[in-house]
Amino acid sequence: MNPLLSHLQPYPFERLRQLFATVTPNPAWRPISLGMGEPKHPTPAFIQQAMIASITSTPSGLAAYPATAGEPKLREAFAAWLKRRYQLDVNPVTQMLPVNGSREALFALTQTLVNPATPDGLAPIVVCPNPFYQIYEGAALLAGAQPYFVASDPARNFAQDWDSVPDAIWARTQLLIVCSPGNPTGAVMPLSEWKKLFDLSERFGFVIASDECYSEIYFRDEPPLGGMEAAAQLGRADFKNLVSFTSLSKRSNVPGMRSGFVAGDAAIMKQFLLYRTYHGSAMSPVVQAASIAAWGDEQHVIDNRALYRTKFAQVTPLLAEVMDVALPDAGFYLWAKVKGKDDDFARELFALYNVTVLPGSYLARDGQGVNPGDGRIRMALVAETAECVEAAQRIVQFVKSRS
């Protein structure tokens, strides 16, 4: 077996299962889960119809191996969306690739980029936000790299404290993973922060991977700034050492399709295509057809965003009466401060009110002696509004009963 597998930590939901293993929830309440960030809004019918049509009306729809690079029409749909959304001109042939969801792509790109054979014999470093999406850590470890976690600062809208990273760490860094809008904080990185990271990348030579899968669910008037958009505004139109990841899962409520794309530095895309050719991760033709339809339509995205805005507008004030929580910039999570240990809070809430939330410490690691998830919980407002409101009302009752 690959010895690096022993370095992997249990996934947050496995830890949650263990936390609840000996708990019998109060049967007076029906179960409501705010634990997993899985979109629950209905999949738009036109996307389903496009997938069905690709099977029924195209004889070769399932009769041929798909190209790893995807069909030209698919890459053109990516490029057209980037133009509409970010006003970017991106080459569909050399600067983008389809991927089977951003999770798969983040893992694969890390394996492509990390070179464990360093001149000084020290392990290369992958810098990650903290708290974070656990695939970042797992991808780094299985590539033979050492994760280095940079904590978010609640006093600065949960911005990462990049200035706390010593030059000695940046010098060993081969990959920096950023997530904007952030999971679980919902924070969006401003242009000034992107400039800082681009300057560091230029100085030390590392690649920036920008996870932007929550980019289309936002609560401000202005849509979140994207990494490639920031690069273009700062005169880096070649996107050197930058790769952005986006996905249809949250945008279009199709997590089961496993469909997204990566775009950025053409030199990296060339090597990533080579890796993916051997990795065997080509997108199914029927998923490509449905993806073309999804990327070409914005009205369903506007409607989806409106559902989240309505939901958050009702739930956030309820919870803010009893805990430290505020409307995020974007995403579909609330990142709340609670009294006492976060895992105790989650277990007692589940036992007494049959509501599942995720302890914040499960989404973070000790870094420089601090776990920035301690004393926090993540609530995924993915269910229908009435269910989320009911969950919030139960949480309010629970918090008041603990006071």
pLDDT digits (tens, 9 = 90+) for 59-68: 667 888 999 9
In this structure, which amino acid lies at residue 330? Answer: A
Average pLDDT over residues 25-52: 96
Q: What is the pLDDT of residue 401?
A: 94
Quick one: pLDDT band at residue 315, thresholds 50, 70, 90?
Answer: very high
Which residues neighbour 70 within 8 Å (Cβ) at sequence distance 6 or greater? 97, 98, 282, 283, 288
Cα–Cα distances (Å) from 123 to 93, 118, 127, 141, in that order, read 34, 7, 12, 10
Tokens representing 382 are 């993915």
Contact assessment for residue 178 and residue 197, using Cβ atoms and an 8 Å cutoff: yes
Contact assessment for residue 165 and residue 150, using Cβ atoms and an 8 Å cutoff: yes
Q: What is the pLDDT of residue 59?
A: 66
Cα gap 139→232, rounded to integer Å: 28
Cα–Cα distances (Å) from 366 to 117, 149, 175, 267, in that order, read 27, 8, 20, 35
Closest-CA residue to 205 (of 156, 180, 165, 172): 172
Cα gap 99→123, rounded to integer Å: 28
Cα gap 228→178, rounded to integer Å: 13
Average pLDDT over residues 173-197: 98
Contact assessment for residue 289 and residue 51, using Cβ atoms and an 8 Å cutoff: yes
- Cα angle 347, 349, 352 (rounded to 5 degrees) comes to 105
Neighbours of 174 (CB within 10 A): 21
Average pLDDT over residues 161-176: 97
Q: Is the peptide bond before 184 cis (omega within 30 degrees of 0)?
A: yes
Neighbours of 196 (CB within 10 A): 13
Query: Residue 348: how many CA atoms within 13 Å on its side-chain side?
Result: 15
Closest-CA residue to 307 (of 251, 236, 373): 251
Does residue 212 surpass a pLDDT of 80?
A: yes
Query: Residue 335 pairs with which residues in a beta bridge?
Result: 378
Does residue 302 surpass a pLDDT of 70?
A: yes
Mean pLDDT of the chain: 96
pTM, entire model:
0.96
Does residue 368 surpass a pLDDT of 80?
A: no
In this structure, which amino acid lies at residue 114? Answer: V
Place of tokens 């019918």: 45
Quick one: pLDDT band at residue 389, thresholds 50, 70, 90?
Answer: very high
Average pLDDT over residues 210-225: 97
Cα gap 49→119, rounded to integer Å: 54
Contact assessment for residue 352 and residue 28, using Cβ atoms and an 8 Å cutoff: no
Q: What is the pLDDT of residue 64?
A: 84
Cα–Cα distances (Å) from 42 to 36, 251, 255, in that order, read 17, 12, 11
Tokens representing 159 are 């911005």
Sign of CA dihedral 86, 208, 255, 159: negative
Cα gap 78→102, rounded to integer Å: 14
Average pLDDT over residues 312-316: 98
Does residue 40 surpass a pLDDT of 90?
A: yes
Q: What share of the chain is helix, strand, coil (3-state, %, to 5)?
A: 45, 15, 40
